[in-house]
Copies of this chain bind each other. A is one copy, B any other.
């Protein structure tokens, strides 16, 4: 079922059929309707391979995320889809599994597929960026989100990590906590680095010195959170700002296990507002990231670059975050059931 079949059926040429189907002004209204009718009747589906081969670009946008099954990323994907599909693009999705090698593999697949643009959040593993550097030279638009490398060409959409951390820690201070620890992530990633800076800024502002023993890095998982919390408690912490909700979860479970009360003995603040944060008891105070909005903006950015055929811009959008105060940081009030 091709354009030529329709052409034969109607006794016209493939070119007019093509133009009729793409609503070109160069074809008579009557024949346009006839063509579209016949196409419908014959169950014609245009062959996008042929089309994009001829046009030199596909209507596909490639997206690489570290983990598809992480709440934040799957919601960013939703946000991207919501914009990209109505605009006539479709999404090819790859998972890097936090591995640089897989990231490169995915990128190569995208290039083979002549994607119109690439949206990516870097694998934690990635510290060589040559696979991404080549893109702007090839004219392939790149949008980075969340985990970004600053000096790469293209648009960047990031959370306001600094402010989220800053606001959260200020809130801890206001709640009366005196010795606030930080379970940080991998500091070569902008997101965790900025959160650390927000934490330090909040402490500095009130003249609270900081203590090396109060900061543990590379704490991202639940298990790591459980391990790290004991260290900072031993160092005298009465509150902890965790750079992610999973480490906060691990910390909370460990704290409970030790018979300490959250938030009375120890306050816990997370980041990401994973779905379970609300459900836990005590409910976890956390910084909410607007994943859907980030997805929307990333999609808009890539579409704009594609349409302007400009892969060399260099913009950064910071998406605001929101502190969601729950039970885990409000002292003198045992809300545990």
- The residues of A with any CB-CB pair to B shorter than 8 Å are 43, 45-50, 52-53, 58, 60, 68-69, 71, 74-75, 77-78, 81, 85, 90-95, 105, 108-109, 111-114, 134, 249, 256, 275-276, 279-281, 336-337
Contact = CB atoms under 8 A, between A and B. Distances in A.
Given A90-B109, A280-B280, A68 B77 contact: yes
Given A47-B53, A111-B45, A90 B92 contact: yes
B77 A90 contact: no
B69 A75 contact: yes
A90 B63 CA distance: 12
A8 B134 CA distance: 24
12 contacts: A43-B134, A45-B108, A45-B112, A49-B49, A49-B53, A49-B114, A68-B81, A69-B78, A90-B109, A279-B280, A281-B337, A337-B337
Nearest to A95: B81
Given A49-B52, A69-B71, A90-B109, 6 more contacts: A48-B113, A49-B114, A81-B95, A90-B94, A93-B93, A336-B337
Contacts of A52: 49
B47 A112 contact: yes
Q: In this complex, which of A69, A92, A337 has the most chain B Cβ atoms within 10 angstroms of its Cβ?
A: A69
Contacts of A109: 90
A69 B45 CA distance: 30
Contacts of A50: 53
A321 to B, nearest CB: 19
A190 to B, nearest CB: 24
B53 A279 contact: no
A275 B280 CA distance: 11
A36 to B, nearest CB: 15
A50 B81 CA distance: 26
Given A49-B58, A113-B49, A337-B336, A92 B91 contact: yes
A134 B1 CA distance: 14
Contacts of A108: 45
A46 B112 contact: yes
A151 to B, nearest CB: 21
A112 B279 contact: no
Contacts of A276: 275-276, 279
A3 to B, nearest CB: 13
Nearest to A79: B69
A279 B279 CA distance: 8
